[in-house]
Each structure stands twice: as structure tokens, then as C-alpha cells.
Amino acid sequence: MKKNKFLILLIFVAVIVAGGYYWFSLDSKGEKIPYSVFYEKVESHYIKSVTIDADKITFKDPVTNCTTYTDNPQSPVLQEYLMRNGVEVTVEKDFSEIIYLILDCIFYIFFFGIFIFAFRKFISPNTFKVVHKTGVKFDDVVGMESLKRDMTQVMKIMKNPGEYAKKGIRLPKGILLEGEPGNGKTLFAKAVAGEAKVNFIPAKATDFESMFMAIGPMKVKLLFKKARRQAPCIVFIDEFDGIGTRRNYSGTAIETENTRIVTALLNELDGFEPTKGVVVIAATNSIQALDPALIRPGRFDAKFSVPYPDEKARIELVKMYCKGKSVSSECTPEKLASLFNGFSCAKIESALNKASLLAGQQEKSHFDLTDVKQACNQL
């Protein structure tokens, strides 16, 4: 149906263009005279007005009142000559010029349409989704007990920033979580929002990357503008070292864009008011890679390390990840936890899943310690 409508519209436009071309290409009715005769009539002030188009000059004979025309010599001084002899001149655009004008208009409409489409795609108000309920609580996060205690006070301030401001206590603008990948930084940030019962806006470094210059800083402004409207709110930026790296003024396009993003982050953090109830939680693998201006006190006030799970946490993780899996009796949580010493949360889950796959390949009803050790070696 849509194709038929488009075809009808295309045919209609083609008919209009063809009709216009035919109309403008028709020779005017009337008598044609040599240009030399026309020139003499102009000199004798016989002609009062003419119409000049691409290939002819048309005028009305003042005696017979008939339309008369002659060839247009395309002289650059013709119009001036006619006007100096008291002739009123009307210049009509050639149909080809009209076609070129239409094509130019179509080009600019298409160009700006693409630009607007790209702009709306990269700077859409829906770029950063607001999660009103994360569905994650501290009970869903295994371990990190000291970190949970530290964040409890922050959550209290977030819920009642004005009350704590009267006591001279302000809400931290930013909190840095440093730790190896897979140790639960994202899950912990969601748990903080869930425990505090505040809005949660997740973002990652790649959200600020774009093929167009200056889009990254604009996305930073959009993110924080949305956070202020959704306060109390937690803004979580994952892979923070991907956009917050030390500024380099080498002049390359990539470094220039990174510098602009860092500067935009600095401006937004400085624009926070302690009573607005907005906190930025950023996850990074290395604080040393971040720009010093970002992590100074007054911007990211609190810095916490998210370590590998200890033995107690590993036991709880094994119990959680083994739910729904067929496990040999020799694979006690304590034995598995000792095998997973130095593993991240994600690596423990991956090892147990790999062990199940290995057991399935051997058509065993459950995986044993041999499968787990083999899985660990393959990770």
C-alpha cells in the first residue's frame, strides 16, 4: 500500500515536471523579426517593454498589439542598452535554472534531514534510561560488607540532603569504585539505588563516543540535566577510565574530544548543589589513569576499592551459582571456594558454568572436581 502511494506521488511529480518543461519550451505565438529590425525599433524608441528569457526577446507591437519576438543574442550589455533607451525589461528565469533551483532545494533538504536525523539519534533525550526500581538490594550482593556500611551513611544523606545540610554535612558529589572487572561494581551500584529507593541512570564510556566531534560533551550535559530532573538520583558511569582519562593537549581529534568530555564532566560536577540529591558513582579499573582534576576532593570525595571476594564471600557465591546445577557430592562449597582463590565473581560463575558444559560433553549426570579444575585451566 505504501509502495503504491509512493509510486503515484512519483508519477505525479514527473508529470508536473514534464508539463512545466513543455510549457516553458513552447515558442511564443506571434511574428518573429530579425534582431537587426528589433535593434532599430529600440533605437527609435518604438518599443516600450520587453520580456527576456533564455533564447528569445518578446514584446508587443504598439501599433498592431501583436506579440512579436526575436532571437536573444545573449549579450551581457543588452539589458543595460534597453534600459538606457527607456525600455521596461522583464527577465524570466530559464526552466533549466528552475530545475537546478529545485534540485538544490532537494539536496539541502536531504542534507539537513540527514544531519537532523543523525543529531536526534546521537543526542536523543532517550539516550540515558531512567530506572526507577533496580530490583537489587544489598542482600543480593555477596560480600562487600565494609563497603555496604560506608554507603549506608551516603544513602541517608541522599534521602534527606536538606536536613544534613543544616548540620554542615553535604552529600558527596562523586564516589569512585575501583576494582578488577567482574567483581560486582555495577551490581553494587544498583543495590545502592535499590536500598536508597532512588532513581538510577546507568551509563558507560561507549555511550559518549560518537563519529561527530562535540557530541560527547553534549551527551554529558544531557545526562546530568536528566539526573537533576530525576533527583534524588544516582548516576552510574561504568568504564569511567574510558572517558575520564588524563587530558592530553597533543591536538589530535581523539585527544581533543576526550579533553572536551573531561572538561564537561568537571563543569557538571562543579555545578552540583549539595542539597539536590544527585550522586555520581563511577566504576574504574584504575584510578591512576583518571585525570587528577576529576578525582580531587570536592568532586569525587569518596574512593572505595572493590576487592576480589574473600573465602567467606566465595563460599556464598558458590552456593548461589550452583543453584539449578547438578553437582557432585565431593564439590563442597568450601573445596570449590579454595579452588577459586583470586577469582572475581564473574570468573567464579563462568568456571562453574564451564564445568557443567564439560560434564555434559562427557554425558555425566553431574560435574566433579576434575571438571572444575579443567574449567579453571581453560579460563
Q: Is the per-residue pLDDT at 256 higher than 80?
A: no
Q: Is the per-residue pLDDT at 125 higher than 70?
A: no
* Nearest one of 284, 320, 323, 289 to 305, comparing CA atoms: 284
* Nearest one of 306, 316, 358 to 337, comparing CA atoms: 316
pTM above threshold 0.85: no
Residue owning grid cell 551513611: 153
State the average pLDDT for the chain: 79
- Predicted local distance difference test score (pLDDT) of residue 13: 61
Q: Give the span between the Cα atoms of 155 and 160, in whole angstroms.
A: 9
Confidence of residue 92 (pLDDT cuts 50, 70, 90): confident
pLDDT digits (tens, 9 = 90+) for 318-328: 888 888 888 88
pLDDT digits (tens, 9 = 90+) for 29-66: 568 888 888 888 888 888 888 888 878 888 888 777 88
* Nearest one of 88, 313, 16, 357 to 187, comparing CA atoms: 313
User: Helix-strand-coil percent breakdown of the chain, rounded to 5?
Assistant: 50, 15, 35
Find how far residue 106's CA is from the centre of its chain: 27
- Predicted local distance difference test score (pLDDT) of residue 179: 83
Confidence of residue 118 (pLDDT cuts 50, 70, 90): low
- Predicted local distance difference test score (pLDDT) of residue 110: 75
- Predicted local distance difference test score (pLDDT) of residue 367: 86
131 near 201, Cβ under 8 Å?
A: yes
Q: Is the per-residue pLDDT at 294 higher than 70?
A: yes
Q: Which residues contact 212 (CB under 8 A, 6 or more apart)?
A: 118, 122
Q: Is the per-residue pLDDT at 26 higher than 60?
A: no
Q: Give the span between the Cα atoms of 256 and 248, in whole angstroms.
A: 8
Bridge partners (DSSP) listed for residue 287:
none
Q: Report the percent of the chain where pLDDT is more than 90.
A: 1
Q: Is the per-residue pLDDT at 205 higher than 60?
A: yes
Sequence length of the chain is: 379
- Predicted local distance difference test score (pLDDT) of residue 266: 84
Report the alpha-carbon angle 143-144-146, nearest 5.
130
The more confidently predicted of residues 116 and 202 is: 202
- Predicted local distance difference test score (pLDDT) of residue 273: 65
- Predicted local distance difference test score (pLDDT) of residue 115: 64
- Predicted local distance difference test score (pLDDT) of residue 295: 80
Confidence of residue 165 (pLDDT cuts 50, 70, 90): confident
- Predicted local distance difference test score (pLDDT) of residue 255: 60
Residue owning grid cell 498589439: 65
- Predicted local distance difference test score (pLDDT) of residue 64: 78
- Predicted local distance difference test score (pLDDT) of residue 304: 84
The more confidently predicted of residues 188 and 213 is: 188
The C-alpha R_g of the chain, in whole angstroms, comes to 38
- Predicted local distance difference test score (pLDDT) of residue 291: 82
Confidence of residue 252 (pLDDT cuts 50, 70, 90): low
- Predicted local distance difference test score (pLDDT) of residue 97: 65
Q: Is the per-residue pLDDT at 236 higher than 70?
A: yes
- Predicted local distance difference test score (pLDDT) of residue 207: 78
Average pLDDT on 255-259 reads: 72
Q: Give the span between the Cα atoms of 92 and 76, in whole angstroms.
A: 15
- Predicted local distance difference test score (pLDDT) of residue 120: 60
109's enclosing H/E stretch is helix 95-122
pLDDT digits (tens, 9 = 90+) for 304-361: 888 888 888 888 888 888 888 888 888 888 888 888 888 888 888 898 899 889 888 8
Question: Three-state SS for 174?
Answer: strand
Cβ neighbours around 143 below 10 Å, total: 21
